[in-house]
Amino acid sequence: MSYPTSTAAVVRRAFADRSPAALAIWGAAIAVGLYATATSAYLAAVAPRVTDLRVFVYPPVWLGASVAAAVWVDRTVRHRPRPWLGRAVGVAYVLGLGWLGGLIGPSAGSETLRLVATMPGWGPIGLYDNGIVHLSVVPFKLVAYLALGHIVAVLVAASGGSARVAILGLATCVSCTAPLLLAVGGLLGGTQAASMVASLGYDIATVVLVATFVLLVRAASRTTAGCRRPTDGGETTGGQP
């Protein structure tokens, strides 16, 4: 006698047989598709005045690259002998990126809790201030930082806390957020200068972000290769620094 199978179970079974590359492509396609759908609905409802079409480029690139890299690394690097170390490093890493990228900062002095409506990907922007810390959550940046943190957590857990992985991730991701800090600094140069520096900052940050994911994916592939390489004693080298 056959029993009905839930939709969730069917979906899980279908994706369980997919390769990491296929899952990464599917994940990126879903993320970009949701962004495109939400943006189309927003433009039809609000009809905002857009002066720079690049505002439609940054979110899907960041979202697609983030989801694809995180899914691929998660499904590829399965041997993680020190998961708690990886999680601790990953959480600290995301907090550090949030601080450098402007998502987390010192309090502005007044308590705030509100959402600012703007184009999908860029918004809705979540603003929170409790008098001690200030949060300014931009969705596509948050997804990118969470993906970076997850990848670093997986690699640290898999490499047994290898300093090389942490240094690689830190150096590349700090360079990813640095152009955004430069963009904020451009606000001191007047409206025209600020606009030019801000757009250039996001251009550079987008290129460096994608390059960062490529480097981390390569690190993950080397970690996996190391775990599968037999040694003379019949053991594997996975999990060793």
pLDDT band at 238 (very low <50, low <70, confident <90, very high): very low
Q: Is residue 27 part of a domain?
A: yes
Q: Is residue 47 part of a domain?
A: yes
Q: What's the whole-number average pLDDT of the chain?
A: 76
Q: Is 230 exposed, middle or buried (0-12, 13-18, 19+ CB in 10 A)?
A: exposed
Q: Is residue 240 part of a domain?
A: no
Per the structure, the count of domains in the chain is 1
Q: Is residue 10 part of a domain?
A: no
Q: Is residue 25 part of a domain?
A: yes
Please give the share of the chain, as a percent, with pLDDT higher than 90.
Answer: 29
Q: Is residue 104 part of a domain?
A: yes
Q: Is residue 196 part of a domain?
A: yes
Rounded to the nearest 10 degrees, the angle between the axes of helix 191-228 and helix 139-159 is 30
Residue 59 CA to residue 68 CA, distance in Å, equals: 14
Provide the residue range defining the domain that includes 182: 19-228
- Comparing 57-71, 83-97, 136-150, 208-222, the range with the smallest average pLDDT is 208-222
pLDDT of residue 100: 77
Q: Is residue 12 part of a domain?
A: no
pLDDT of residue 236: 42
Burial call 33-61: b when 16+ CB within 10 Å, e when fewer: eebeeebeebeeeeeeeeeeeebbebbbb
Q: What angle do CA 64, 68, 69 make, to 5 degrees?
A: 120
pLDDT of residue 10: 55
Whole-prediction pTM: 0.76
pLDDT of residue 197: 43
Burial call 155-175: b when 16+ CB within 10 Å, e when fewer: bbbbbbbbeebbebbeebbbe
